[in-house]
């Protein structure tokens, strides 16, 4: 694939490949944050990239009457979004100083390697166009290095309070892979709706004899409260992925940050009665769902016991 550019090919034996994508499933910086943490902790080196130009939309058509919700303290207002704001969402970033163009930056699709840990890392923007060709590039990496396991880590906004452990859900490319995820206290996704690129890639992983896991961690959805990086879910994603891959990385710094986030949110509960009530209702729903899941596991265990 001409879009795939490999700078080097370090020797590795059937390495694993961890994927991250911005956009569709990177809420709370869980997807790209996981690969970034692995990259730093394992001192991974950049070995290649996928040229983004054939895969990204750089301009959105102007829609009639777009609106956005703007929060000012506890007051929310609706205002029109200008055509320039909307068109600028996907355009490359530039820097111009005193009339001279100093920088023009497109999105990045970068491939890293940590040979000592037998691990490849990819972080990029989910392709807007030509999914088949983008998947071909990744599958070329799989074939070139003899990858046997692909792991995507992402996130989704859900009815989970910050006072509870973020749930993790998985989808897999083969039924036999579910046992491994079950052992890591991960449930399985039940979903029907718009698909992402990762789901498409799962359907094609077997073409190169690779197994693929998609791990999705819940992040809290609090209206009018922006949390760009939700570290508790990031820690959960890293933990499950590390166990799945059999590697060890230090997350002590992230855990300290996660605790600081929980502490601040606890303070907000004390300051805002509506927020406190929202968290209480989410806790009730979370606990009820957890109990139902436990009851289902017990039922299956009982049904599996042969009568004496």
User: pLDDT at position 306, please?
Assistant: 43
- pLDDT tens track for 186-229: 999 888 888 999 999 999 999 999 999 999 999 998 987 888 99
When pLDDT is cut at 50, 70 and 90, the band that residue 167 belongs to is very high
User: pLDDT at position 92, please?
Assistant: 83
299 or 298: which leads in pLDDT = 299
**Sign of the four-CA dihedral 45, 51, 53, 55:** negative
Distance CA 162, CA 235 (A): 13
CB distance 204 to 135 below 8 Å: yes
Angle value at C-alpha 247, between 245 and 251, nearest 5 degrees? 115
CB distance 233 to 30 below 8 Å: yes
Mean pLDDT, range 115-128, rounded to an integer: 96
Q: In three state form, how does the secondary structure of 102-155 look?
A: EEEECCCCEEEEEHHHCEEEEEEECCCCCHHHHHHHHHHHHHHHCCCEEEEEEE
- pLDDT tens track for 80-105: 556 566 666 678 888 999 898 999 88
Mean pLDDT, range 295-306, rounded to an integer: 50
Average pLDDT over the chain, rounded to whole? 87
Does the pLDDT at position 31 exceed 90?
yes
The mean-pLDDT minimum among 28-37, 185-194, 241-250 falls in 185-194
Does the pLDDT at position 59 exceed 90?
no
């Amino acid at each position: 694939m001409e879009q795939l550019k490999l700078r080097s090919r370090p020797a590795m034996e059937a390495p694993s490949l961890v994927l991250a994508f911005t956009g569709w499933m990177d809420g709370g910086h869980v997807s790209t944050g996981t690969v970034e943490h692995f990259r730093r902790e394992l001192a991974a080196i950049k070995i290649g990239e996928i040229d983004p130009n054939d895969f990204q939309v750089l301009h959105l058509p102007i829609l009639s009457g777009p609106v956005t919700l703007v929060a000012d303290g506890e007051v929310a207002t609706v205002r029109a979004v200008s055509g320039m704001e909307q068109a600028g969402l996907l355009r490359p970033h530039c820097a111009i100083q005193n009339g001279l163009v100093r920088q023009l930056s497109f999105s990045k699709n970068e491939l890293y390697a940590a040979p000592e840990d037998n691990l490849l890392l990819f972080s990029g923007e989910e392709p807007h166009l030509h999914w088949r060709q983008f998947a071909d590039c990744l599958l070329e990496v799989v074939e070139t290095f003899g990858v046997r396991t692909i792991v995507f880590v992402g996130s989704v906004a859900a009815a989970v309070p910050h006072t509870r452990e973020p749930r993790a859900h998985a989808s897999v490319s083969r039924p036999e892979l579910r046992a491994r995820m079950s052992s890591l206290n991960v449930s399985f996704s039940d979903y029907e709706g718009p698909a992402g690129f990762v789901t498409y890639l799962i359907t094609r992983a077997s073409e190169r004899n690779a197994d693929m896991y998609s791990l999705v961690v819940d992040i809290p959805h609090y209206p009018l409260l922006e949390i760009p990086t939700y570290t508790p879910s990031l820690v959960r994603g890293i933990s499950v992925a590390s166990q799945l891959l059999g590697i060890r990385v230090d997350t002590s710094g992230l855990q300290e940050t996660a605790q600081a986030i929980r502490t601040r949110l606890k303070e907000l509960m004390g300051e805002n009665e509506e927020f406190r009530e929202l968290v209480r209702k989410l806790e009730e729903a979370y606990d009820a769902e957890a109990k139902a899941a436990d009851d289902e596991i017990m039922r299956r265990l009982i049904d599996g016991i042969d009568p004496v």
